[in-house]
Structure 1
Amino acid sequence: MFAIVIHHYAYHSTFNWGVYNTLYEGALKVNLFLHFFGKLGVDIFVIIGAYFLCEKKFNFKRPINLILTTMFYSFGIYIFLAYVLRVKLLIPISLKGILLPFPLPSGYWFVYSYVVMLFAMPFLNIIINSLERAKLLMLISGLIILWSFLVIGCIVFNDKPGTSIDDFGYTSTTFFFLLYFIAAYVRKYSGKILNSKKYTAIGSVVGLLLAVVCSYLADSQKLFNGILDTFDINGPIVIATSVFIFSFFRNCHFSNQVINYIAGSMFGIYLIHEDSFARPIIWDQLISSKLYVHSGLEYLMAGLFFRY
């Protein structure tokens, strides 16, 4: 969640990172890495949930509780801002907008995709349990080629008319299915490398260093945009690094009640700071990242400070 929040600082705040300006080159390179860092957090978040779900029976309460929790925060934030603080909300809302697809004032792409994954859980588990190790690995490899390499290639080299990533079945929801299969493979057949703290630590560090190097090399608009496209949730480096980081901590056997207690509040943090009505107030009015873009280090430190 730390990674996701600091990514939103980079993505939503007032710094116009979409236009490459050499005056702010340091901040742009830091911004690019924070994009990677946030997408990494998303993949790890999904893998953690899928790792435990892949060997559990379907329970209708899971998606319903997730929807009810999201409704509580979404309606609570909207009512508090609109009717208690009397804030003039920048986003218009209608009854139709509240009712679809779930009865929420604010939409959350992550919640939508995760809820669908929860409902698909029993069918995903049937696929996992019916496949041998080699066939499950073949399925994962095929989907990575299709939804990672091929999709990103189409985005980076967008020069063929009439071609869309939708043609290959890629959405954030279907990609969560791929992460689900990966988490199940790690749990059932992880093998020597993923069961080693040494190898998973090396893999994690290498993945992070690759992201740093790629961000450092982004010295033009074209390179910045191209690297940014590979830093999405389906980017090969993002997927590999998330698996290594998750596997490293899976191999670290310790228990801490404080960490477990704090972890229980993480989803609430996401629902608060990514709310459509709270987001402009947080990132445009309370926090203005463009004040810190004259130095890459200052831009990064401001993000870390605001994160807390």
Structure 2
Amino acid sequence: MFVIVIHHYAYHSTFNWQVYNSQYTGALKVNLFLHFIGKLGVDIFVIIGAYFLCEKRFTFKRPINLILTTMFYSFGIWITLTYVLKVKLLIPLSWRDILLPFPLPSGYWFVYSYVIMLLAMPFLNIIIRALNRAQLIMLIMELIILWSFLVIGFIIFGGKPNTEINDLGFTQTTFFTLLYFIAAYIRKYSGNILNSKKYTAIGSLISLFLVVFCSYLANSQRTFNLILATFDTNGPLVILSSIFIFSFFRNCSLNSEIINYIANSMFGVYLIHEDSFIRPIIWRQLISSRLYEQSGINYLLAGLGYSLLVFIICIIIDIICRRLIFKRVIDNLTYHITKIFNKLEELILHKYS
């Protein structure tokens, strides 16, 4: 989650990385690296969740709690900014915009994709249980070819008439199913390499070295754009790095109550700092990365410092607001809504079984 925050510093802030300027080569190369680690963070975040979900029984409690938590922050931030602090929002909204097609003031692409993955979880698990090791590998390789190599090829080369990347079935949502299958493979099979701390550490270091090397090669607009296209969540190097890094830490014996306590606020960190209305305030009004564009080192250090500050503040807000003040309310709503959905499920299964 911390590297995702750093990525948002690079992506949303005032430094104009979209236009290559040789005066800011150092900052542009660092920016490219920060793009990579942010996408890496997304893949690892999904793999962590999928690793545990792929062998669990489905319950409506997970998606319902996630949706309620998202609504809590989205409405809470919007109401606070609009009616309490009287802030003039850069994106004005009417109540009709907020309530339709579903009640949420802010947009979160990750939440949409993750909720759909949670709802698809029981069916994905049926597929995983039905496949042997070789078949699961074949499925993963086919999806990597379709949604990684071919999609990136379309982005880089383009120009093919009447052809879009989603013609191959690729969206951020469907891509999460690929990460789900990868996580299931790691959990069920792994093998000597992924089960070795030594090999996964070497794989992680080599992958990150390649990322630094590729970022260093970005000396023109074309090269920058080509490398950036491969640094998305579905990039081969991003997928490979996420597998090695996740597997390395899976092989480590870590047992920390502090880490576990803080980890419980990571989703809250995302919902707070990536809120559609908070985001421009943080990265464009309070923090200006353009002040550090002259030096790659200064740009990196500023990104680390500001991102750490945002990260810590969001953790504190989540602990106080969601986990201490409103936890009981959210848990009670989750419990009662889950009961309703469980009864509907029982009725449907009883009728058609």
* Distance in 1 of aligned mates of 2:127 and 2:229: 30
Aligned to 1:111: 111
Aligned to 1:166: 166
Q: Which amino acid aligns with 1:199?
A: Y
Over aligned residue pairs, what C-alpha RMSD do you find?
0.7
Residues 1:59 and 2:55 aligned together = no
Q: Secondary structure at the match of 2:152?
A: helix
* Distance in 1 of aligned mates of 2:28 and 2:50: 33
* Distance in 1 of aligned mates of 2:96 and 2:32: 36
Aligned to 1:220: 220
Q: Which amino acid aligns with 1:245?
A: I
- The verdict on how the C-alpha distance between 1:252 and 1:155 changes in structure 2, with shifts beyond 3 A counting, is same
TM-score normalised over the length of structure 1:
0.99
Residues 1:48 and 2:48 aligned together = yes
* Distance in 2 of aligned mates of 1:96 and 1:135: 47
Moved over 3 A (4+): none
Report how far residue 99 of structure 1 moved.
2.4
Q: Secondary structure at the match of 1:201?
A: helix
TM-score normalised over the length of structure 2:
0.86
Residues 245-275 of structure 1: per-residue CA shift (max 9 Å, x gap): 0000000012000000000011101000000
Aligned to 1:33: 33
* Distance in 1 of aligned mates of 2:102 and 2:252: 38
* Distance in 2 of aligned mates of 1:307 and 1:280: 14
Aligned to 2:239: 239
Aligned residues: 308
* Distance in 2 of aligned mates of 1:44 and 1:184: 13
Alignment of 1:5-44 (within 5 A): 5-44=5-44
Report how far residue 85 of structure 1 moved.
1.0
Q: Which amino acid aligns with 1:146?
A: L
Aligned to 1:151: 151
Aligned to 1:129: 129
Aligned to 1:297: 297
* Distance in 1 of aligned mates of 2:217 and 2:231: 14
Residues 1:94 and 2:94 aligned together = yes
Q: Which amino acid aligns with 2:88?
A: K
Aligned to 1:269: 269
Q: Which amino acid aligns with 2:52?
A: F
Residues 139-172 of structure 1: per-residue CA shift (max 9 Å, x gap): 0000000000000000011121211101100000
Which blocks of at least 5 consecutive residues in structure 2 are unaligned?
A: 309-353
Larger Rg: 2
Report how far residue 84 of structure 1 moved.
1.1
Report how far residue 101 of structure 1 moved.
4.5
Q: Which amino acid aligns with 1:62?
A: R
The range that moved more, 79-88 or 232-241, is 79-88
Alignment of 1:187-206 (within 5 A): 187-206=187-206
Residues 178-215 of structure 1: per-residue CA shift (max 9 Å, x gap): 00000000000100000000000011111111110000
Which blocks of at least 5 consecutive residues in structure 1 are unaligned?
A: none
Aligned to 1:252: 252
